[in-house]
Structure 1
């Protein structure tokens, strides 16, 4: 139990002690006050800890979000049985052991039946409040989780959109077609090879566009093909080095990340035969590095950095490991984390998630309505029993509203947790399946 919960029970004990001592106790002595404090503490802590233990046990074994119907049925059963036992234990200790106003035979006779019933109703009220509070807290947690999931879905869709926009720079296609056009007349065989490489690149883009992760081997093979095209275009002005360990080939990286980084190297640096641009791709531990010598090209407009931010965003959806960017006076390096396993990514479509959220929202409203009905029943019935017994204990008219409203609450419980719409829909599907056969 939490320390805060212990303090609440302690203050409840002191409050009830003062109330009963000042208004329902004729002897204003220290011993009378201590006895009242003892009894109040016993009722508060036994009922409080008992109901709290039952509630926490059910929270661990049958959470509201995972087993709603089972949890609701078990909550109702545990509220009735648990409080029946706890109240009888407290009343037995009060009247038989501590105050000694009744014998064991008298306690279990009809003489104390009304008192026990009244205390059970009070305990049911407290327990119903605790379970309703637990339900509302679980509802808040689930709502926060669903909001986060919706944000992740939107963020993932945005990342995929940006990825598609940045997979291949239009300038690369334009320049490659220019190179191909010149090769057709000068070197037809090289032009044919160049065309085959372009076909591989675009086929890889189409194959990987919907994947979350690809193996390092596939990405390196694609990068080699891409570098061959760049080498044909820039000749001796660009030099590529691959130094990735074979044992890292079965690890995973974000698809097309190397292409975006290679394109950035070409876009932001000048390359000549006298000052070639040297790009090195290598592995170090669980990191895939892309490094180039810095030869900054003068830009007409400042770079937006969409390519790098897109890679960082896609990694953030898959792992807690970060993409690191290092820049010095003469070198620029990007470090991509290599993942050992593919993370479990939810494949639920936004439409399906939205429909499920609406059904869950409707379900929550039904359960909330039932618990409000249950709390109202316990509160009002306890008040009616107190008024009836206080004014006229012989004429026990409180049974009529207790039983009448109780039947209504039981019917509401069966409708929400037992034979509601979900049960009807299930039966309809069973009948339709039988008819199809």
Structure 2
């Protein structure tokens, strides 16, 4: 009887130790995966900063040739935006309203060159949302619409941002005769970020007249 008790007790002890070790292993694995994901996210955001910098330096270069006063105004506004961009790049997530403020300032910067060629419409339902997003995610989509479409005064590119089964950014297509190089790199970057953060990829919908990107929603209980 003692032998049976010993076997039973020993079996429970081994099962407990195995279970404890398994839990500890899963915790270590989870911590490693979280750390690895954060590292990848930081690398992806680090790739967006040069993208943002080089695109705007190209615009500045064009303005210097076209209008030096506009170029000076552009440089002043851009330096403020870039300082904010550098601070934000250290954060994994920010409140949607902070990102929208950055977008509006960025769009005003674009208006320095493209006066009336592009329009930005932000619906009220996203302005009051408690959604959180990776920094630059919406700015990248607005920039993408500007860089890859040729708006005019008579036929502007109109960019809509709203929440509709996700964060939805839509623009009408007025494609340029010569497509820009690296088209899609920023979208692939965003897709990787959202897969790491939410396990859900972004959705891209394209028709002959419109281009839409839908970002998965991430919510916070705080009013970020």
For normalisation by structure 1, the TM-score amounts to 0.44
Q: Are positions 1:294 and 2:179 aligned together?
A: no
> Which has the larger strand fraction?
2
1: distance between equivalents of 2:219 and 2:28? 32
2: distance between equivalents of 1:143 and 1:225? 43
Give the aligned partner of residue 59 of structure 2: 175
Alignment partner for residue 64 of structure 1, among 21, 27, 36?
21
Contact 2:131 2:220 in 1 (8 A): yes
Relative contact order, higher structure (CA 8 A, sep 6+): 2
Contact 1:231 1:239 in 2 (8 A): no
Give the aligned partner of residue 278 of structure 1: 158
Deviation for aligned residue 1:217: 0.7
Partner SS for 2:199: coil
Partner SS for 2:112: helix
Q: Are positions 1:51 and 2:14 aligned together?
A: no
Structure 1 residues 146, 259: closer, same or farther in 2, change over 3 A?
closer
Cα shift readout 1:309-335 (whole Å, capped 9, x = no counterpart):
111222222223432111112111111
Structure 1 residues 235, 160: closer, same or farther in 2, change over 3 A?
closer
Deviation for aligned residue 1:292: 0.3
2: distance between equivalents of 1:58 and 1:330? 62
Give the aligned partner of residue 214 of structure 1: 94
Deviation for aligned residue 1:251: 2.2
> Which has the larger helix fraction?
1
Q: CA RMSD in A?
A: 3.3
Deviation for aligned residue 1:191: 5.8
Give the aligned partner of residue 48 of structure 2: 163
Q: Are positions 1:320 and 2:204 aligned together?
A: no
Q: Are positions 1:251 and 2:210 aligned together?
A: no
For normalisation by structure 2, the TM-score amounts to 0.79
Give the aligned partner of residue 190 of structure 2: 311
Worse overlay, 153-162 or 230-239: 153-162
Alignment partner for residue 332 of structure 1, among 189, 211, 220?
211
Cα shift readout 1:391-431 (whole Å, capped 9, x = no counterpart):
xxxxxxxxxxxxxxxxxxxxxxxxxxxxxxxxxxxxxxxxx
Partner SS for 2:85: helix
Deviation for aligned residue 1:216: 0.7
Partner SS for 1:299: coil
Structure 1 residues 171, 322: closer, same or farther in 2, change over 3 A?
closer
1: distance between equivalents of 2:142 and 2:185? 14
Contact 2:122 2:162 in 1 (8 A): yes
Once the two structures are superposed, the pairs formed by residues 34-433 of structure 1 within 5 Å of their partners are 48-59=7-18, 63-64=20-21, 148=33, 151-152=36-37, 155-166=40-51, 168-176=52-60, 178-179=62-63, 182=67, 184=69, 192=73, 194-245=74-125, 246-248=127-129, 250-284=130-164, 287-299=166-178, 303-341=182-220
Deviation for aligned residue 1:143: 7.7
Contact 1:244 1:283 in 2 (8 A): no
Contact 1:268 1:296 in 2 (8 A): yes
- Give unpaired runs (5+ residues) of structure 1: 1-38, 68-137, 343-437
